[in-house]
Amino acid sequence: MQHWTDKNPRNFTKSERSHVTLLTSGLPLHILHLVKQVVAMAGLKFEIMPEPNNDSLQIGREFGNRGQCNPTYFTVGNLVKHLMYLRDELHVPTEKIISDYAFVTAGGCGPCRMGMYSTEYRKALRDSGFTGFRVLLFSRSGDVQDVLMDGLKLTNKDIIRFFMAIMVGDILNTINIRRRPFEITPGSVDTIVKAAREEIDTAHWIKGLFKARKILKTIKLKKEKRPIVHIMGEFWAKTTDGEGNYHLFRFIEKEGGVVSNETVTDWLLHQIWRARWSAARTKKSKFITSTELQLKVLELMIAGIFKTMCFILGEKNKLSDHGSLAQAAGEHFDLHVDGGEDHMEVAHHIHIAKHKLADLIISVKPFTCLSSSGVSDGVQSKISELYPQVEFIAVETNGDSATNFYSRIQMAMQKVIAPSLQ
Ligand code: SF4
């Protein structure tokens, strides 16, 4: 009997940078476009794939294993769909696709199915005729996992620019989402925020941000009361508005609400907090270690830079204090449980309810998400009981039952629309 191993082609060396195009998707578009600029400056060829849609889901189901979670079907299917497009529509030979393209995504040994993502990509790629196509992984902490992938290694300057791109993308995305329901001319906020983003040159951040600020100031809004609907849940479903979450953000706007969104920067800050918390838990001395200190400085730097950029762009968004969030959640959720959003869903629910920051919380997650449906939602019923001042519903996405999904949200919205207008 032979032990099964998955051959994992993931070499991407510096010498390949000039001819290999890195493909990606799965983050809000404002972030991806800024990241594209940053990695181009670092000498990498980078292409943003079209957003995953229901065709991607069908292809994902055709070539994927049974029992995967929704983001896997959407994102795996989306990659296969794009490669098929290169092969069948643009007539790029399969060997050239395999040698001249690679896919970059987050991965890691998560306790949920995230740990199996790359294997799932490779299975679908094999079965659809792209054996050997490379799937390159960043771990959740942002490390490049393999020395064979030194082509992905960035200088410290590039890494700072990379984080700046995520932060500025987050702020623009938030401005877009929170202003859009109040726009006077339909479509104007999307157009203006896109124009502002295009003014930002990631080589000269400050100059670009002030130019963007000028453009953002041309947004014209009407005064209107709307219930605030906070969206939390599984990372992909809550941050990427598209067919994968039935265009949840736009649906809420159509139903009369305004979305309060969570950011990728906040998630990164949580990962840094977790690393600091783990370092404190496992240290041998009672004194603060240099690792803890460095991580704390990094947290403060990110929070400070984010606040400054928000100020320049005219947005009031604040990042979470992850120490207080952990303290609030810790009474109900074991902080050692790591995976997906960890204790963040429970923590945000408590924080929002205590400070009355929203009228309704929607926790959106892919069908059978282990971390969100299986763990967080088990605790959320208790939190709803303790903090009834905010409505809470958990909804699942599976790509098929849009009507059921929408009607549950409409029912919850009905409960909060009238009180919020008083
Ligand atoms: S967090 Fe949920 S949806 Fe995401 S990989 Fe884990 S189980 Fe799947």
Residues 301-330 pLDDT 10s: 999 999 999 999 999 878 999 999 999 999
Confidence of residue 374 (pLDDT cuts 50, 70, 90): confident
**Measured between alpha carbons, how far is 163 from 309 in angstroms, rounded to an integer?**
12
Confidence of residue 148 (pLDDT cuts 50, 70, 90): low
**Measured between alpha carbons, how far is 323 from 147 in angstroms, rounded to an integer?**
34
CA angle 252, 256, 257 (to 5 degrees): 55
Residue 239, SS3?
A: helix
Average pLDDT over every residue of 79-86: 98
pLDDT value at residue 219: 97
What percentage of the chain has pLDDT greater than the value 90?
74
122: buried, middle or exposed (CB in 10 Å: 19+, 13-18, 0-12)?
A: buried
Confidence of residue 400 (pLDDT cuts 50, 70, 90): confident
- Per the model's pLDDT, the better-predicted residue between 144 and 107 turns out to be 107
Pocket test for ligand 1, best of 370, 395, 396, 398 (most atoms within 8 A of CB): 370
- From the CA of 343, how far away is ligand 1's center (Å)? 14
Ligand 1 pocket by Cβ (under 6 Å): 69, 71, 112-114, 234, 340, 366, 369-372
pLDDT value at residue 390: 96
**Measured between alpha carbons, how far is 255 from 239 in angstroms, rounded to an integer?**
19
Give, using CA atoms, the residue closest to atom 3 of ligand 1. 369
pLDDT value at residue 222: 96
> Domain map of the chain by residue range?
14-153, 155-223+264-318, 228-263+324-421
CATH number of 228-263+324-421: 3.40.50
Could you read off the pLDDT of 270-296 as tens digits, one per residue?
A: 999 999 999 999 888 889 999 999 999
Confidence of residue 152 (pLDDT cuts 50, 70, 90): confident
142: pLDDT strictly greater than 60: no
Where does residue 336 fall: left (phi above 0), alpha (psi -120 to 50 degrees), or beta otherwise? alpha
Q: What is the token pair recorded at 98?
A: 């395999």
Q: Which atom of ligand 1 is nearest to the CA of 365?
A: 3
145: pLDDT strictly greater than 60: no
81: pLDDT strictly greater than 80: yes
Cα separation values, 127 from 77, 91, 154, 170, 328, Å:
12, 19, 33, 36, 46
Equal fold, 14-153 vs 228-263+324-421: yes
Of 125-129, 225-229, 337-341, which range is least confident? 337-341
**Measured between alpha carbons, how far is 24 from 46 in angstroms, rounded to an integer?**
8
Average pLDDT, the chain: 91
Average pLDDT over every residue of 33-54: 94
What percentage of the chain has pLDDT greater than the value 70?
96
**Measured between alpha carbons, how far is 124 from 80 in angstroms, rounded to an integer?**
7
pLDDT value at residue 286: 85
Nearest alpha carbon to residue 364 among 347, 382, 345, 337:
345
Confidence of residue 140 (pLDDT cuts 50, 70, 90): low
Give, using CA atoms, the residue closest to atom 2 of ligand 1. 369
pLDDT value at residue 70: 84
CATH number of 14-153: 3.40.50
Of 89-93, 113-117, 299-303, 308-312, which range is least confident? 113-117
Strand order in the sheet with 134-139: 45-48, 21-24, 101-107, 134-139
Average pLDDT over every residue of 16-36: 94
DSSP-derived letter for residue 89 is T
pLDDT value at residue 202: 86
pLDDT value at residue 108: 65
Q: Which atom of ligand 1 is nearest to the CA of 366?
A: 3
107: pLDDT strictly greater than 80: no
pLDDT value at residue 50: 94
- From the CA of 305, how far away is ligand 1's center (Å)? 30
- From the CA of 392, how far away is ligand 1's center (Å)? 21
Q: Which atom of ligand 1 is nearest to the CA of 117?
A: 5
417: pLDDT strictly greater than 90: no
